[in-house]
Structure 1
């Protein structure tokens, strides 16, 4: 069975193969043109996410299990009552880039076409909205012009605001391969942090956080001063004079001062751009998640338009999409300021939609964007919200107010895969949705490629497809004729027909060539890039090769950009700038990846990355627990010291929730400063302060179940195959704490105690280990993998038991922190192999397999090799 990975916007193809055990093995699909057989470790572990543990299995109303008919009728009745009493503006949908296109189409049609207001937005607002505005202002359409094949043809690649090595690993590995094949290809990484992506860089520009627009304004000015304008493009461009006038003050020295770079660095970058005949700019959240994100996108696009480096192989501004179907959601109108099929709210488009949908109720103006929507809930203006496949209690900025809004909302409806999330805790009605492997539909990736996600396992419990749930509610609200679909292919055909309806080439998104697919043809659909129509019956890899754009006059537009720094700035009270983002092995709020033990071993706990000099100034050491506080909230995380972190800044990952840690949600600290054009929040720059978090003891608890609820001053949960590990910190006596948490009288106990808070407790049932507890004044140093393994196999000898009490293997060095999640290779194993004669990643791969599958750990392998060379100079 061929399908598509449900993680990032790379849209990798997967092959799913059943095992004799009934489980499934997932591998890369070598025929899929976006990924060419590659998978990252998250994609390769998809077979390990198919279990039913933690799933929402049955509809619930007010915490009680009900039938589907009761739940659907309750949703329809509640929505209708609120509409009758308060008007349609009092209800809203909040959707997700995790939905399939068919799901999204149904939700948008119900809200905008029949409820009749624009109040449907999506978590894609948090990652892609500024990119959308940039493309629409420049090209007249939300039309990403490039494709992954451009990597193989590009002379200069710029990665800006993107740690692609971790956030888009397969795309990054395609870049790595392109550079191996063409060593002359240049790579420039623009990022305040020195990330894993910099491993590929010929030049790294660690610019001032949020100053990117000035760098690209300066580049536009440099092009005009160094005969690097493509004059053949000028007849097809509007706004050139104004854009150049706005860029004129940005000399290389002015840019260097503003961006806090050396002038020589800036000019080196500019000279590389001029010298290369091809240019590809890959940009992501570091650009988009900004109060001036739309302007940053247009500053990048300006450069490509004026230099003519667009519409041909190896060229273009390439926005790397965050989610698997963020682009599919945009196609169907999943953003509140879109109608459907890339149509805006013009009288002509509203009339067109009324005729196509046979509805007089089509929304006539944009609805509430994500952050505004939850502010409206808090005010009481929106009284019912239906949340589909996302976790806004964690992912939205100003998280405390989001949680307060959900708590006071009259009706919260949640369609979900997981029973317990930070958001489902506030749900009045829970609707079990099908998950990956169960649902059937299409997604569109970063390069406009439509691929099929196919079902291959039976649905868990009573879970149903999102489109079916939405359609059944619509029928009960009186709209049966418009939602009488029996198969997702019917929805896709309607969506495709709408894209071509009265289009005549005026709208970029057009897949009318797929509107007549039979169910069998839809089921067998192979990946292809839109547009798919009479002009491009097999799809189209690159847009704008003919230099015809989608503004009414057929031209593209340059925007006059005035660079702006982030709204909030550091001060004496808030001296450090916090950046948030993804880590390598986790996805969003961990509802899927957090259940896979091997994905939780690379970076097991929430952390804050700090430059060593900043750590010293704040009296923080490696591994200390740190309280990070902003004006909006605080969290407690583990300190990691890194010289790759820019002075004056810290990095905190976005993934941890209350399901996995006591107080570690980064978005609780982020203020809701928005880009005025896109509504996207400024999640990358938040002023904070740090201090050590003091406690009497720290510890590690291993237990043989995954349901125990821990009560402690601070904790983080890490799953293993046969045990759950909790990292702990608290006040008081650790042994008393343990006795309060568990009934130890049913266990055979083994104790060790020492000075201060030193405690060791093992709990046995016959020869089976069911509990292991280790505490001390500082965090105990343990062999975690060794302890966890003891829960899955009998421990018989006294020597083994004593080794477990000590927390370290008696006869072998510890594996150490996991570096390669694909093969479970630890840091100490890698260091031992380096010192025994494996001085390259290739040699390590031959000996240990690390780095030979997804390649994501290769930058860390190189770091460990360098560290070993420094430690043993001359050897």
Structure 2
């Protein structure tokens, strides 16, 4: 089998992948982002390339159609909206999972030909505050450093970044560097204790939004202790005095840390020359996210710790091509090539290069405002491309209603059913990862090729091609007569050359004569290039700017603070990662982490469900009781949708509060109340066919033999078999039923001949059984009594809940290995292979050993 060099479609690390059409997936040892490493999601990519559920033909009004009909209708609707209501009546909402060529065409089409900047992206939800902070400090959106800085630093400060789960390969690079250089120090700044905290020498558990107080305090400390780089400040920085004066007005204790914790951190930071501060969503997804970014940048600028090996601030992006989207101007307040849409000279230069009939005269609507405009009727035609805003945006139910309010909605996707696609008038089948050809840019400015190794299925087309075809229908063929993505990339590079007079950071000249087909991963403007070591920035006077940053007032005690984020093994709304049974086996249902004291106050115990509420919305989640979240705080992942859960799409609870500078939603700081969900019954099901999530509480996921589901309700049904057959979609199949003597517990097996095709277990308390064993019986010829036992026999050990998703190693297997003498993570790996691939489960392995050590010592 020939393996194709391509790039992983998940996070912004940008790992190289060797992929085969048979589903073979390997890390690319020659790619400088990962050197062959892959995380659990990347390792499971081969399980996500099937055509189940794919959209394979254009649909108009919910029925299969053809490209000419669908695109002609789109051209008519978008053209009429522009003609009758003006250019700002149309909008595109796009995605950081688009390739750079897709992004470039979308930006050119809407800004240069439709005449509006109403294009925004789900990248607004992950890194817009970093963009705004960079531009305020540096004059342009420049990431100064490279991944090598993570390995050359003597101190790494991870702020609001669960790197172990969200960027596992970077986490493993740091772990390897720390093992090679034990004197390296790692500090984790995060309200939660996460898997990343286990790598850190120090975990600073700040209060939510305590970051500014922490870093303002650091700046004041640097001044008080003579740790500033006065020569660098005088030569290369404006705004220092005002920034310092404001920092000195801040009380560092408002960070939630003690004086001893602050003193230790400040002495470590000020006394270490090679410092890299890595920050991510805990910084960006805040109502003061841009100010947080600038508070961090202030400290690096004040000490000159930027642009040299092992030094600098480093924003790690969540989306695979968020950086490529930033480069081509894929957001509402940008132009291509890091030019400014507010600047008339920049607009004229881009319009002249494109030879376009119009140019958007001002920034467009950012994501949250765009959907407000959908709700109030300002948007008449909307195109959503490769994303699912009806789930991923705050106030998700309100966003769904806003989309439904738009007179004409088109959605391009690879899946026939998504929460957003269900609201569309026209559905367009796009090619997916494995079928797409183009480029992406990772978090260190490295452009890599994403290459196709599968044919386009059905009538699916690349996104750039769909947009060019629509442009042709609207009379703009000449500006969009591209035949290959290589031609699109070449025009993008040529635009960079045509705008060099503006002296921006984005210089793609090294790609001018590149062989697109053979393009190797390359950083712009040059490999291993760091910015700002020479003190040259992109403001008009060539200097950087420090800004006076005001810390938010400490939050008053009251309801719970809900923090949302990601799971280790899932991606966004699971349209891709949800196809992998291995990835779903680790945490298969929506949950909320809750501190033991808070759980006790709510009389919530292990296995119970909790209801999280705002004045208008409720979500029901499994309670995960842990001290890894602080008292008064909750954490819930954002992956579940209406397709997979009856009440677990958590962004329905999120208020549409945004940072006033960047427009990025404050996804980490939602106010909710919490109560115990008083269930009358709990259920678990396994089946060969998809399971219906139709219960007051329901969550379904893929399993190794089909599907699995968790259920609960507040009223017991009159007929358990009718309920079970409805959930499993098996109303006409014979069933065997077993109930205990009290009639409280019910077990039902559905058969097709002698083959088990569905199992359902119900109980008045959370169902206790070997789920992996029940799942393994689907598709087997197992007699009813054995199928309904709920546990495996002595000859078939139950591996337990999956811990290592890469190699499918369960908790019971690991416990047995520890009891047999494997008392270190390395020893566990040698015996069970757990943790030997991506390593992101290593923190859990270490905790398991620690939890078992004391009981074993007492025996």
Give TM-score, length-normalised by structure 2.
0.97
Say whether residues 1:703 and 2:687 are aligned partners. yes
CA distance in 2, matches of 1:539, 1:739: 59
What are the superposed Cα offsets for residues 564-623 of structure 1, whole Å, 9 maximum, x if unpaired?
158xx5654xx2111000110000000001111000011111000000001111111111
Aligned counterparts of 1:260 and 1:571: Cα–Cα separation in 2: 13
Given that residues 647 and 696 in structure 2 are in contact (C-alpha distance below 8 angstroms), is that contact kept between their aligned partners in structure 1?
no
1:761 aligns with 2:755: no
Could you say which residue in structure 2 is the equivalent of 1:528?
522
Task: Tell whether the 8 Å contact from 2:735 to 2:748 is kept in structure 1 after alignment.
Answer: no
Query: Which residue number in structure 1 is paired with residue 811 of structure 2?
Result: 827
Q: Does 2:785 align with 1:802? A: yes
d(CA) in 1 for partners of 2:427, 2:553: 42
- Gapped runs of 5+ residues in structure 2? none
Would you identify which runs of 4 or more consecutive aligned residues in structure 1 move more than 4 Å?
569-572, 739-745
**CA, structure 1 residues 198+743, in 2 after alignment: closer, same or farther (shift >3 Å)?**
closer
SS at match of 2:812: helix
Q: Is the 8 A contact 2:286 2:665 kept in 1?
A: yes
Partner of 1:507: 504
What corresponds to 2:657 in structure 1?
673
Structure 2 residue aligned with 1:106: 105
Which residue pairs with 2:79 in the alignment? Answer: 80
Residues 1:321 and 2:317 aligned together = yes
| 2-structure distance, mates of 1:867, 1:710 | 35
Q: Distance in 2 between matches of 1:242 and 1:743?
A: 70
- Aligned counterpart for 2:19 among listed residues 16, 20, 24: 16
5 Å-filtered alignment, 1:453-472, equals 453-472=450-469
Kindly state the Cα deviation for residue 837 of structure 1 after the two structures are TM-superposed.
0.5
Give 1:196's aligned residue: 195
Query: Could you tell me how far 1:497 is from its partner in structure 2?
Result: 1.1
Question: Could you tell me how far apart the structure 1 residues matched to 2:209 and 2:176 are?
Answer: 30
Measure, in 2, the Cα distance between the counterparts of 1:369 and 1:739. Answer: 45
| SS state at 1:746 partner | coil
The count of corresponding residues between Structure 1 and Structure 2 is 849
Look up the match of 2:52.
53
SS at match of 1:806: coil
The answer as to whether partners of 2:693 and 2:700 remain within 8 angstroms in 1 is no
Q: Does residue 217 in structure 1 map to residue 220 in structure 2?
A: no
- Give the conservation status (yes or no) of the 8 Å contact 2:693–2:699: no
| Closer, same or farther: CA 284–725 of 1 in aligned 2, 3 Å | same
Partner SS for 1:171: helix
* Alignment of 1:278 onto 2:278: no
Query: For the Cα contact (< 8 Å) 1:582–1:654, is it kept in 2?
Result: yes
Q: 1:693, CA displacement in angstroms?
A: 1.0
Task: Quote the offset at 1:544 in angstroms.
Answer: 1.4
C-alpha change, 1:804 and 1:142, in structure 2 (3 Å) is same
- State the Cα distance separating 1:475 from its structure 2 match: 0.7
Shift in alpha-carbon separation, 1:759–1:116, aligned structure 2, 3 A = same
Return the alpha-carbon distance in structure 1 between the equivalents of residues 336 and 451 of structure 2. 25
SS in 2 for 1:92: strand
Cα distance change, pair 770–367 in 1 and its aligned pair in 2 (3 A): same
Unaligned runs of 5+ in 1: 532-537
Task: Note if contact 2:160-2:190 (Cα within 8 Å) is conserved in structure 1.
Answer: yes
Q: What is the CA–CA distance in structure 1 between the aligned matches of 2:640 and 2:666, rounded to whole Å?
A: 19
SS state at 1:184 partner: coil
- 2:849 is aligned to 865
Matched with 2:532 is: 544
The 8 Å contact of residues 412 and 426 in structure 1, kept in 2 or not, is answered as yes
Distance 2:725 2:77 in 1: 47
Aligned equivalents of 2:131, 2:151: Cα separation in 1? 26
Shift of 1:513: 2.8
Distance 1:657 1:711 in 2: 13
What secondary structure does 2:624 align onto?
strand
CA distance in 1, matches of 2:798, 2:705: 19
- 1:364 aligns with 361
Q: Which residue of structure 2 aligns with residue 534 of structure 1?
A: none
1:310 matched to which residue of 2?
306
Q: State the 1:695 CA deviation.
A: 2.3
User: In 2, are the aligned partners of 1:94 and 1:123 still within 8 Å (CA)?
Assistant: yes
Tell me if structure 2 keeps the 8 A contact 1:496–1:513. no
Q: Is the 8 A contact 1:783 1:815 kept in 2?
A: no
Q: Deviations over 1:256-281 (max 9, x none)?
A: 2x112110001100000111111000
The alpha-carbon deviation at position 540 of structure 1 amounts to 4.5
1:295-354 deviation line (CA, Å, top 9, x unaligned): 100000011111111111001110010100001001111110012111112111111112
The match for 1:717 is: 700
**Separation in 1, partners of 2:733, 2:474:** 55
What CA distance in whole angstroms lies between the structure 2 residues aligned with 1:43 and 1:505? 39
Q: Which residue of 2 aligns with 1:349?
A: 346
Contact kept in structure 1, 2:269 and 2:275, CA below 8 Å = yes
d(CA) in 1 for partners of 2:829 and 2:726?
47
Distance 1:570 1:404, change over 3 A: farther
- Bigger drift between 621-630 and 186-195 goes to 621-630
Cα distance in structure 1, aligned partners of 2:733 and 2:501: 76
Preserved CA contact (<8 Å) 1:756 1:776: no
- Greater shift in the superposed pair: 180-189 or 400-409: 400-409
Contact residue 757 and residue 779 of structure 2 kept, 8 A: no
1:692 Cα offset (Å): 1.1
| Partners of 1:155 and 1:184 within 8 A in 2 | yes
User: Structure 1: how far apart are the matches of 2:822 and 2:350?
Assistant: 64
TM-superposed CA distance for 1:360, in Å, is 3.5
Please say if 1:427 is aligned against 2:424. Answer: yes
| Displacement of 1:748 | 5.0
Q: 1:726 to 1:247 in 2, by over 3 A?
A: same
Q: Residues 558, 431 of structure 1: CA spacing in aligned structure 2 closer, same or farther, 3 A cutoff?
A: same
- Secondary structure of residue in 1 paired with 2:435: coil
- Aligned residue in 2 for 1:403: 400
Given that 2:590 and 2:622 are in contact with CA atoms closer than 8 Å, whether structure 1 keeps it comes out as yes
Residues 443/278 of structure 1: CA separation in 2 closer, same or farther (3 Å cut): same
Q: 1:535 matched to which residue of 2?
A: none
Q: What residue is the counterpart of 2:66 in the other structure? A: 67
Q: Is the 8 A contact 1:674 1:680 kept in 2?
A: yes
